[in-house]
Structure formats: structure tokens, C-alpha cells
Amino acid sequence: MRFGFLLAGLCFSGAAAAMAASLGPVPYWAFPVAAPSKVKPPKPDDTVKHRLPGSKAAFTEAGVNDRFNVPDWYPQDHPKPPAVILHGRKPDTSACGFCHLPNGQGRPENAPLAGQPADYLVEQVKLMQSGARKTSEPRMGSIQSMYKVAKAVSDQDLKAAAEYFSKLQYKKWIRVVEVDWAPVTKVSSHSMLVPNGRWREKLGNRIIEMPEDLDRIELRDSRTGFVAYVPKGSVARGRKLVESGAGAFPCAACHGPDYKGNGAIPALAGRSPSYLVRQLYDFQHGTRGGPGADMMRPETANLDPGKRVDIAAYLASLSP
């Protein structure tokens, strides 16, 4: 069994330290950090073209990994995006669609943006710019990339991206499976959990979210989703917590009766459980700031690691 990374460099005192300890360490599986390597990765191949079923496009490995020319395998699946989605703006504004995909579905290491309110998306990037929204695991590569983009993006490009993503329909993307044993994983260079051999290990109090088809995911396929292995019984337990309210109010009071969002408040149904756990943890520990975080902090104050897992498992299991 693996253990979560310890949150370094943050000091607590007295009751605050005791509370932080009771909430558990940063869960490595929700904040995956690739192990440092002294070996320089090979240069991406720029000769062999790859293809995906149902797509007329073809991209090399180098093309797939170009942050300023996003591989849009299925342009027919979404409206024509603004330039910032597919090409960004050099040198520091990577294309939004590189991480979040042209259809906004996102991946476990980042946020699923499709269908989220435009005002909410703009607000969150502005909070990153101001330093109000931080992270409990600053070593996570995908988070580092997002903060770099947040500091560099223009107001015009930010507004265009937010409006584009808000008009997309988020689709069922994650298959939630309750198990006792899950595949052994490692952290990829993209801050994602991927299979590490064919072995399995006791799942315990974790969620292991990983690609359904690693080869296609590495090509940044926007039609291939993920499987989330969650503890047995977690979906039912999570439903009770979400419906009764883990804090003062049930989640539907703000996020809507079907958890699909409410005005400027984001949708939760069907979203990545890894992402959801990261947000719950950040709210609890005060690393995520802003008006929404101020409202969420008392709601999450007493969530232990098991409750965070149960809540995320249930919400991820719902239809968007």
C-alpha cells in the first residue's frame, strides 16, 4: 500500500495542527506527483503518424505533445473553438485544449470544464492570478502548468475560453467501479495514474482513476474516458452524505437538485472524483480561497479522508 505525500513547508500550531492531522495527509492518488528522474526523456518522435478510429486526422508523437497546436481528433464533436483553445498564445499561454481537451471533458489531473458557468471559470483563473487560489500539492506538474497559464493569459483570451467551455455539454466520461482490489499504478509524466504491470493491490481508502485505454489517452483522444475504482459501499455512503449535508447544508442547496450546477455555482455530477477530492481537501486546508471557498470551508471542515472518498465516488457515479 502506498502512502500520501506529506504536505511540506506548511506549519500549524496548537488546535490547527491537531485538526490538520485528523483530516489526513495529502492523498497522493488525488495529487499525483511524478518521481524525479535523472534520465532525460527521449525527444518525441516526429516521423510516425498515428490515427484513431473515426478520425480523419493523423498526428505524430511530437504533434500530439505540442501545447500550441492541439491535436483535435474529432472537430465535428464540438463548435469551432477560439484560437486560445487550440493554439494558445506563445510563449506562456499554452492552449487550453491541450490539458482540458477541445471538448472540455478534461482528465483526472486537471478540471473538467465543459458546461461550467463562464463567470465561474473566469473567477477561478482570476483567483489563481491573485494568489487567493493555491494548492495543497504545488509539486503536481499539471497544477504548475495551470498557474503558469493563469498568470500569462489575457483577459480577452480568458473570456473567450470561458464562454466556449460553458456552452459545451459535459458527457458521461468516467466509469465508477466498486472494488476491494485495484490495479497497481505509477504516476506518469503528465501527473496521471497509469497501470504499473498487471498486479493488483488492496484499494483501501482510496480512489484510483486511470485511463480506460492508455494508448489512446496518450494520443490525447477526446472520446476515450476513464475508470475510477472506488471502495465497496462508497457510492451509497456518499449519497447519504451529499443528500443530508456533510456540513450545515445538503449539497443540492447550492449546486442544484441534480448537482448539475446552479447559476454561477459549478456542476458536480459525473465529474472526476480525483478532481473533486482535490477541491474538498483544498477547501478544508484553506489553500483554495475566494467567495466560493469561504462558503465551502465550513461545509468541509469535518470531512475525514473516508468521507471525502465517499462523496467524490457518489458524485462521479451520477449522470451529468
Q: What is the pLDDT of residues 140-150, one digit of tens each?
A: 999 999 999 99
- Of how many residues is the chain composed? 320
Please indicate, yes or no, if residue 68 is contained in any of the structural domains.
Answer: yes
Residue-range definition of the domain harbouring residue 145: 61-166
pLDDT, residue 247, reads 66
pLDDT band at 248 (very low <50, low <70, confident <90, very high): low
| φ/ψ of residue 193, rounded to 5 | -80, 130
The residue that leads in pLDDT, 17 or 310, is: 310
The yes-or-no verdict on residue 13 having pLDDT over 80 is no
Please indicate, yes or no, if residue 124 is contained in any of the structural domains.
Answer: yes
Neighbour-count burial of 309, counting CB atoms closer than 10 A to its CB (0-12 exposed, 13-18 middle, 19+ buried):
buried
Please indicate, yes or no, if residue 11 is contained in any of the structural domains.
Answer: no
Q: Tell me the average pLDDT of the chain.
A: 91
Q: What is the pLDDT of residues 65-90, one digit of tens each?
A: 999 999 999 999 999 999 999 999 99
Please indicate, yes or no, if residue 235 is contained in any of the structural domains.
Answer: no
pLDDT, residue 23, reads 56
The yes-or-no verdict on residue 163 having pLDDT over 90 is yes
pLDDT, residue 78, reads 98
pLDDT, residue 21, reads 47
Please indicate, yes or no, if residue 193 is contained in any of the structural domains.
Answer: no
Tally of structural domains, the chain: 1
Query: Closest Cα to residue 271, out of 177, 184, 183, 176?
Result: 176
Average pLDDT over residues 268-282: 98
**What's 120's domain CATH number?**
1.10.760.10
Please indicate, yes or no, if residue 288 is contained in any of the structural domains.
Answer: no
Q: What is the pLDDT of residues 191-232, one digit of tens each?
A: 999 999 999 999 999 999 999 999 999 999 999 999 999 999
Please indicate, yes or no, if residue 152 is contained in any of the structural domains.
Answer: yes
Please indicate, yes or no, if residue 71 is contained in any of the structural domains.
Answer: yes
